[in-house]
Amino acid sequence: MATVRALPGSARIVVIGGGVGGASIVYHLTELGERDVVLLDRDELTSGSTFHSAGLVGQLRADPALTRMNRYSVELYRRLERGDHPPGWVECGGIRLASSQERMAEIRRQIGWARASGLPLSEISPAEAAELFPLIDTEGVVGGAYLPSDGQVDPARLCDSLAAAARAGGAEIHTRTRVLGVEVADGRVRRVRTDRGDIDCEIVVNCGGMFAAEIGRMVGVRVPIVPMSHQYVVTDAFLPRRDTPLPTLRDPDLLVYYRQEVDGLVMGGYERTSAAWTAGPRAYDAIPADFNGRLLAPDWDRFAEIADNARIRVPALGDLGVRKLINGPEAFTPDNEFCLGETEVGGFFVAAGFCAHGIAGAGGIGLVMAEWITTGEPPYDLWHMDIRRFGRHYRSPSYTLARTAENYETYYDIRYPGQARTAGRPLRTSPVYPWHAAHGASFGEKAGWERVDHYESNARPDLPELAGLRPDGWAGRNWSTAVPAEHLATRRSAGLFDETSFAKIEVTGPQAAEFLSWACDNDVAREVGAVTYTQALNTRGGIECDFTVTRRAEDDFLIVTGTAFGGHDLAFLRRQAAVRGASVRIADVTGQFACFALWGPSARAVLSRLTADDLGFPFMSMRELTVGDVPVMALRVTFVGEHGWELYCSTEYGAALWRTLWEAGREHDVVAGGYRAIDSMRLEKGYRVWGADVGPETDPYEAGLGFCVKLDKPGGFCGRDALAAARERGPARRLRCLVLGVPGAVALGNEPVRVGDSVGDSVAGRVTSGGFGYTVRSSIAYAYLPVEHAEPGTKISVEVSGTWVDGTVAREPLFDPHGERVRSVPWRPSNPV
């Protein structure tokens, strides 16, 4: 009888969950020199969803960070395959088919993303696809793409391989050990309780897979995942012996995927009628305590759609027997991205919600999580996977379930620009939401907020000056003439925009000024009434936050940041305060204030009719006013490059303030506008967006934000030393404005950029954000370019939907370069609007 080792009484790091994610994290922790690491599993390794995973490894994703992680996974699996515990890695290549012209357009965009990421994804014809995968019927196939470095791996062997390497690195692994609780004191994890004893610890990593939400509830943390029934079949053997295995194959138009399994096939997909397992609209998941190494009963009726579609593309399946149908629960998130990172409980990390592509990501997950745990910061921009992206509304079982089910059922759908999900809406609304709806608003959704994209009532399809402005191809989807109409009206007269969804954070207390001075690179602790645009940096000098700070009193500051970034910025500031031991209160007050922006040449004329207060206060300052009957905090700021204000009022006054502004603006031709017009105007002005143009991997100097940096600020600031060193070295790249030579060719993000007369795959950068500037009448894109190719006038080309479009590096900003509009100095455009 094997001897059961006693649990250690303490460990620096305890990882809960012995699936492929947990094993990868433990392995990478030991690679970084951590030796005091314990992994616990309730049963045996791989007894969760790992053992029944299909094992496909595709590398390309829309998020460059995830693509980077998946590429590392392939490198790791190759390396492990050469070791003593090979994981069964087979680099067979991967095919993605297009069975519609729309899908082919999507694939051509993805080929551009791959080029920007250094992946050799190439377009193939139907005949070439059939040569690579002879079983397919090419009727209806338009084309496809092939990536030779994609492949498949045996999930259980991969987990065992990583675990063996982790043990060799000094980690302890204890199976058949059930976690009963996680103890927290003073906001940090202190101990893990198990049925075999307690372990004192500093850090806990929740890699519980479908049990991760239950483990999170032990410390009051919501991990918004839902175990979904996911099925695939394994056919009888029928394939002739081949020198190389068939490539993996996906046909998203038919909702199916295939891979070779010995001499048969694995075939599965994402049906339109999903089935959650154990979770409901009024209850969290309730997975049976003894559900270890088990499967769910086959559901042939629900699988029929997938089976029928699969036979269309691979007719041989109609004559084959099925060895088994695998129905296993897989943990899905509401947006199909992982849940990674540290939670609001200090030292409590999560790596869960792998959404049936965790095998492809496992290597990268282990790498980034190990670095995050050991340094306290993610190694690069992981916001799309950061658990903090989920707001408090995801504590609702019904909302989480609705969003997750919709995500599963549309897994293979084409995502067009501006296309928003519909489940769980409307949830968070401005006090003016009924007015917007009554006036023809087309709503988008962000962080649960209903936000006006544009008003279809503003559409002007017959206006001569808007002729020919529709973007070509992909960017023209879901486009409306209302967007340029709102843009141009704001430039000519004024626009009124509802920005209530912007996240708002109060920092108050006796050390508020001192703390924010440390957290921000700019000087925010200025006079009362000052508004400061600033960044908050990580220790590497990368931009963790990008926001404005308004000093309302000696010990009272208001931060305004992007709608989707409130949770991130709040968590970052709270962690910084904890590290500093600062006596401050940091609170999310987003819902307490409505915010309306009034911008444009007529903005002062409109507002002066509504207030007796002096409007002559300077740019980047704040005053308290009354507007009509409403007490307002007015900030002289802009995100469109026009004179005007953001007007904040307590939410109960919101409807009255909007009505007052709208009625006063009628005689000045004020237009109500949406976020798409704002984005078009900010591109012309060169204003950056966090998470696209700037982020944790970019410093202010290369991003063109060096004017915010106060290196000589008394007391310094977080990241100051790294930034000083970066300034001394000089940037290796710079964010540059690109103007494309074909106005209708509009880049949207991730497109590859070449410089000069380079050809082939010599990519110098990728587009961070792009769109059309309706005042300058140009297609605009931003990209980081090597400094030697960053001078204005440099010739570039951008691959837009498979076609290389020539352009030029432009001097920015394209619109109002001297800032005369912002400061209300008379403006004379060279190209009148």
Radius of gyration of the chain (CA): 28
Question: Which of these is catalytic: 257, 411, 455, 782?
Answer: 257
Q: Residue written as tokens 């970052």? A: 572
Of the candidates 216, 222, 212, 570, the one whose C-alpha atom is nearest the C-alpha of residue 394 is 222
Q: How far is CA 733 from CA 373, 535, 704, 757, 797, in A?
A: 29, 19, 10, 19, 17
Residues contacting 253, CB < 8 A, separation 6+: 97, 98, 99, 100, 103, 412
73 contacts 21 by C-beta, under 8 angstroms: no
Sort strands 339-342 and 348-352 into parallel, antiparallel or unpaired: antiparallel
524 contacts 471 by C-beta, under 8 angstroms: no
SS3 string, 375-417, reads HCCCCCCCHHHEHHHCCHHHHCHHHHHHHHHHHHHCCCCCCCC
Q: Is 393 a catalytic residue?
A: no
Question: Which of these is catalytic: 52, 174, 230, 643?
Answer: 230
Question: Which of these is catalytic: 41, 251, 498, 546?
Answer: 546
H-state helical runs in 548-593: 566-580
Which conformational region is residue 146 in: left (phi greater than 0), alpha (psi within -120 to 50 degrees), or beta?
Answer: beta
Sort strands 37-40 and 644-650 into parallel, antiparallel or unpaired: unpaired
Residue 792, judged by CB atoms within 10 A of its CB (0-12, 13-18, 19+), counts as exposed
Q: Is 546 a catalytic residue?
A: yes
Q: Is 230 a catalytic residue?
A: yes
Distance CA 802, CA 118 (A): 16
Residue 139, judged by CB atoms within 10 A of its CB (0-12, 13-18, 19+), counts as exposed
Beta strands in 137-255 (DSSP E): 143-147, 151-152, 172-174, 179-185, 188-194, 197-200, 203-206, 226-235, 248-251
Tally of CB atoms within 10 A around 409: 17
- Of the CA atoms within 13 Å of residue 473, those in its CB half-sphere come to 22
Distance CA 133, CA 127 (A): 10
Residues with active-site annotation: 230, 257, 546
